[in-house]
Amino acid sequence: MKMNTDSQRSPGRPKQAEDNLPVQEIILQTAAKLFMEHGYEPVSLQQIAKACNVSKPSIYYHFTSKPELFKIAVTTMFKHVHQATSRLLREADNLETGLLHVAEARLANPHAEIETLLREAERYLSEKQIEEIRAAENKIYIELADYFKDAMDNNLLRSNNSMLLAQTFSTMMVIGNKEDTLRAHDSTLNLGKEIVEIFLRGTMVR
Amino acid sequence: MKMNTDSQRSPGRPKQAEDNLPVQEIILQTAAKLFMEHGYEPVSLQQIAKACNVSKPSIYYHFTSKPELFKIAVTTMFKHVHQATSRLLREADNLETGLLHVAEARLANPHAEIETLLREAERYLSEKQIEEIRAAENKIYIELADYFKDAMDNNLLRSNNSMLLAQTFSTMMVIGNKEDTLRAHDSTLNLGKEIVEIFLRGTMVR
């Protein structure tokens, strides 16, 4: 039985690794990390298997193919980013704190710029797989856009296209990919503060 | 005779194509476009040769290897971006117009986010080649940072780390990679205006 979403589990195979994550989850997290770091083509299933301490056949036991593993790994990663973003914004006392926490989380986990990654991977993926990845990413933008829309309704942010603000904010986080920039700011927290300040001054009602 | 920089030319071979660009230039521009669109590994020398309407051996006549072609193509592209940025900023009447023109030019020519591209390519490149690419990119940041430093000295921008502003501004241009976002804003000019407004409000003295 092959899995298609990360909520399904193969019956009778509750394999657990040292840290108690099911093997399937370990494969997904490791694959996402490697794909995000090196791109699609340079990462082999062999390499993912080795990094997970499993055999290549056991990757094929859980996932039908490399494109399918890529799609599930990336959409699962986006789902986690979406959940974390939603929680951080909801738990924060105000707009600035919420954005700071999101920025800090994003900058601490720099990942490939998704358009660049998808262009490299697209000849291996079906249209449907690309669509599913974009849909998962889009949920993060929608979450942020809703948050910005509320802030506009409360007269905190200037009226603007809330989706554009969501994409602008997310794009600004790509600066976390620059290791030199991160190093120059001691911590992701400091860099996050600078970026959020520019964004908020740029978008707030004065 | 192999070339190492794009200012050298092989003596006695002033090959010209239809649009009068030397073959070498055509190869560089085509290679840069393809690498920026699909990444390093997915683009073959065969494909570049075909797109240039030349043979694969004639690529090897001008460039020693694929990594070397990649390095020269990308650094040459950065050199052009640097020159265009410098000219657009110098010719503009004020800060806002300068940034608008730079934004418009960047958004009209979306290209791969460089960190993501380099991570995919790095296992094929020598440290020296990566260094040369980073140095070429860095000149663009330095140009922008100097411009922002002047604006700070003239009390137009708040005191800030000018290099961080340069990298933030450049990172914001990565939004041009999102075709949906471009389409939603009718033109790169409109999108550029929105992004520059957020950046300037975010960084200007009030």
- pLDDT 10s digits, B14-45: 444 455 689 999 999 999 999 998 899 989 99
CA distance B17 to chain A (A): 29
For residues A29 and B10, the model is more confident at A29
Interface contacts A/B by beta carbons within 8 Å: 117
CB contact under 8 A, B197 and A195: no
The reply to whether residue B42 touches residue A202, judged by beta carbons under 8 angstroms, is no
B116 touching A (Cβ < 8 Å): yes
Query: Please, is A33 exposed, middle or buried when counting C-beta atoms within 10 Å of its C-beta (0-12, 13-18, 19+)?
Result: middle
Percent of chain A exceeding pLDDT 90 equals 74
Domain boundaries, chain A: 74-203
Specify the pLDDT at position A189: 81
Match domain B74-203 to its CATH number in 3.30.460, 2.50.20, 1.10.357, 3.40.50.
1.10.357
What number of H helices and E strands is found in chain A?
A: 10, 0
- Reduced to 3 states (helix: H, G, I; strand: E, B; else coil), residue A12 is coil
Q: Do B195 and A168 touch (CB under 8 A)?
A: yes
Q: Do B117 and A115 touch (CB under 8 A)?
A: no
Which of helix, strand or coil describes residue A184? helix
Place of tokens 């899995």: A3
Quick check: B201 contacting A, CB < 8 Å?
yes
- The alpha-carbon gap from A66 to the nearest alpha carbon of chain B, in Å, equals 16
Does B187 contact chain A (CB < 8 Å)?
no
User: Average model confidence (pLDDT) for chain B?
Assistant: 88
- Interface touch A42/B41, C-beta < 8 Å: yes
- What percent of the residues of chain B are helix, what percent strand, and what percent coil, each to the nearest 5? 70, 0, 25
Whether the pLDDT of residue A48 is over 50: the answer is yes
Between CA B6 and CA B40 the distance in angstroms is 20
Tens digits of residue pLDDT in A104-128: 999 988 788 899 999 999 999 999 9
Digit-coded pLDDT (tens) for B90-144: 999 999 999 999 999 999 887 888 999 999 999 999 999 999 999 999 999 999 9
